[in-house]
Chain A
């Protein structure tokens, strides 16, 4: 198994067939097939990494995604299939992220240092991606509020419905729609400047 490529599991075209395949793999894993776990990881790692970045995690994406999967597999009996498996993973990842932030905040307040680090990472990405439009887009997304960035990423990068976003982010469907449209307006205004 190799690193998750950027484009894999992009969420494009995901539908009921994908959800059904997830349920089949879960059943296979429960029956003792460890390869099913690898398949599930392969299907969802990239999306979880994107959501981690969108949620502000930049330094320990690997650990966060790993913790998400470990927690998910340890509590698979609690997954009833009300939402899709991917949405359920987003919910777990977001909860872990909030726990990490709280713990980190208790230790010390390093918000300014983190912002500097983040800027450095984005600068390094700039050198890789030459396209000016994409660079501007990254800047536009970066200036969104944390909630707007999460909702925007789940809607645009993963193609989740407002209902699924509401489930993952812990809000209402209507609030998710408002966050998305506010984010879109903010991105447009940024790009129009």
Chain B
């Protein structure tokens, strides 16, 4: 059996056997094979070799193989567990802020509304002891409130048992002043500034 001298054609014979050639290459090779006895012989040999190699392969139990394979961890599910969405964290933070704000409001109302005068007195008198950096120093007015909101005064004015609607004007002013002074963070927003530019290009700031 001889080798065809056209090495390029001969090289493609296995691809013809496995139908891996595109249409043009296949037509060209088939035309060559039709006129080339060496290539016809080799193609016949390849068919026999192909069949023989397949027949000589032992049977393999695929169940035996599949049983040993690892189970795929569903990646999408794993990711959904490990990567919590960002909005959920924000929601938790927002819920926390609301809780704190609600508790603060409840505390303030309890102190000045339904709570006893003694509790209010303790709150105000304890205020100066707080850190100066955290809370502004209280003004002298709360001291007046303390003096006026003694148990005796409370009983006389009705602060110990009454609600805000029962306070007189002086007591309300004192309470508002106290609330103002309890504000934990000072307002730091700058006042709006408007810059006027005249026809000469001179700028003049306003609102300062």
Show the binding face of A for B, using Cβ within 8 Å.
1-7, 10-15, 29-34, 37-38, 41-42, 45-46, 48-50, 53-54, 58, 61-62, 65-66, 69-70, 73-74, 125, 129, 133-134, 137-138, 141, 152-153, 155-159, 161, 177, 184-185, 187-188, 191-192
Known: A5-B59, A31-B72, A61-B60. 12 other contacts (CB 8 A): A1-B66, A3-B62, A13-B20, A34-B71, A66-B64, A73-B69, A129-B52, A134-B51, A134-B55, A156-B53, A188-B3, A188-B42
- A selection of 30 A-B contacts at a CB cut-off of 8 Å is A3-B59, A3-B62, A5-B59, A12-B18, A12-B19, A14-B18, A30-B75, A31-B72, A32-B74, A32-B76, A34-B71, A34-B72, A37-B69, A45-B65, A49-B57, A50-B54, A50-B57, A61-B58, A66-B64, A70-B70, A134-B51, A137-B48, A137-B49, A141-B53, A152-B49, A155-B14, A158-B18, A184-B42, A188-B1, A188-B45
When chains A and B are docked, how far (Å) is the Cα of A181 from the Cα of B75?
A: 46
Query: Ordered nearest first, which 9 A-B pairs have the shortest CB separation?
Result: A159-B18, A32-B74, A157-B53, A3-B59, A137-B52, A13-B19, A188-B1, A50-B57, A134-B52
Chain A residue at minimal CB-CB distance from B2: A188
Give chain A nearest CB distance to B20 CB in angstroms.
6
Chain A residue at minimal CB-CB distance from B11: A177
- Which residues of chain A have C-beta atoms less than 8 A from B54's C-beta? 6-7, 10, 46, 50, 157
Show the binding face of B for A, using Cβ within 8 Å.
1, 3, 11, 14-15, 17-20, 42, 45-46, 48-66, 68-77
- Give the residue among B19, B51, B53 with the most A Cβ atoms within 10 A: B53
Give chain B nearest CB distance to A109 CB in angstroms.
25
Give chain B nearest CB distance to A79 CB in angstroms.
14
By the criterion CB–CB under 8 Å, are B20 and A187 in contact?
no
Main secondary structure of the interface of A (DSSP, over half): helix
By the criterion CB–CB under 8 Å, are B60 and A141 in contact?
no
Assuming the contacts A38-B66, A138-B52, A156-B49, asked whether A31 and B76 have C-beta atoms less than 8 A apart, the reply is: yes
- Which residues of chain B have C-beta atoms less than 8 A from A191's C-beta? 1, 45
Interface contacts (Cβ under 8 Å), in number, total 149
- Which residues of chain B have C-beta atoms less than 8 A from A2's C-beta? 62
- Which residues of chain A have C-beta atoms less than 8 A from B57's C-beta? 6, 46, 49-50, 53
By the criterion CB–CB under 8 Å, are B52 and A45 in contact?
no
Assuming the contacts A13-B19, A69-B69, A187-B45, asked whether A31 and B56 have C-beta atoms less than 8 A apart, the reply is: no
Give chain A nearest CB distance to B61 CB in angstroms.
6
Give chain B nearest CB distance to A1 CB in angstroms.
5
- Which residues of chain A have C-beta atoms less than 8 A from B62's C-beta? 1-4, 38, 41-42, 45
By the criterion CB–CB under 8 Å, are A185 and B70 in contact?
no
By the criterion CB–CB under 8 Å, are A31 and B51 in contact?
no
Chain B residue at minimal CB-CB distance from A46: B57
- Give the residue among A7, A156, A159, A177 with the most B Cβ atoms within 10 A: A156
When chains A and B are docked, how far (Å) is the Cα of A11 from the Cα of B14?
A: 11
- Which residues of chain B have C-beta atoms less than 8 A from A138's C-beta? 52, 56
- Give the residue among B45, B48, B49, B65 with the most A Cβ atoms within 10 A: B65
